[in-house]
């Protein structure tokens, strides 16, 4: 069994449609989908706000590298261009966690090395998995505790929208 938590985001083109394309493509293996959240961009690059969500998937035929490959295929289908780190993008699919795998491989680092610093990952994840936990500094820490450590402005900058991703 391979279960993964995917963080998806978009701020170019029809962002909602880009996020829905992930849910549509993974419908047969999707366990849960969060609401859509609007968030300010991260990383200091001037750009419009992102739409973000979390998709929990489970497929015994897909390992962690398979989830990476599927995410990259979805990004390519959305014509993602990797021009600038933390820059605008049609679709970003990040693996937050995959099973209990820990990896320092630069191609697939697990758990995601900055997920614990990002309210736009933690808030939607907690919506679908209230008991979520993440390995930080070699210890499993509850996601709600990680969220409480973030600056209040970071948390307040994640705004839940009325739009959903399931049709």
> Is 94 among the catalytic positions?
yes
Cα distances from 36 to residues 53, 78, 141, 160, in angstroms, run 5, 18, 24, 6
Q: 29: closest CA among 64, 1, 54, 57?
A: 57
Catalytic annotation on 92? Answer: yes
Q: Which of 49, 94, 99, 144 is catalytic?
A: 94
Indicate if 49 belongs to the active site: no
- Is 104 part of the annotated catalytic residue set? no
Q: Report the alpha-carbon distance of residue 70 to residue 88 in Å, rounded.
A: 21
Query: Distance between CA 28 and CA 43 in Å, rounded?
Result: 34
* Upper half-sphere CA count for residue 154 (Cβ side, 13 Å): 16
| Active-site annotation holder among 20, 59, 92, 118 | 92
- Catalytic residue among 20, 70, 89, 118, which? 89
Name the residues annotated as catalytic: 80, 89, 92, 94
């Amino acid at each position: 069994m391979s279960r993964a938590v995917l963080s998806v985001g978009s701020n170019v083109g029809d962002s909602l449609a880009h996020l829905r394309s992930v849910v549509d493509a993974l419908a047969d293996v999707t366990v849960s989908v969060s609401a859509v959240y609007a968030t300010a961009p991260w990383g200091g690059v001037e750009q419009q706000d992102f739409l973000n969500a979390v998709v929990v998937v489970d497929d015994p035929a897909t390992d962690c590298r398979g989830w990476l490959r599927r995410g990259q295929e979805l990004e390519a289908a959305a014509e993602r261009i990797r021009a600038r780190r933390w820059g605008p993008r049609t679709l970003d699919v990040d693996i937050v966690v995959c099973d209990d795998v820990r990896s320092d491989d630069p191609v697939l680092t697990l758990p995601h090395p900055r997920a614990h610093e990002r309210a736009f990952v933690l808030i939607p994840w907690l919506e679908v998995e209230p008991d979520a936990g993440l390995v930080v500094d070699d210890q499993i820490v509850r996601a709600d505790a990680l969220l409480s450590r973030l600056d209040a402005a970071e948390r307040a900058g994640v705004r839940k929208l009325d739009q959903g991703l399931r049709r």
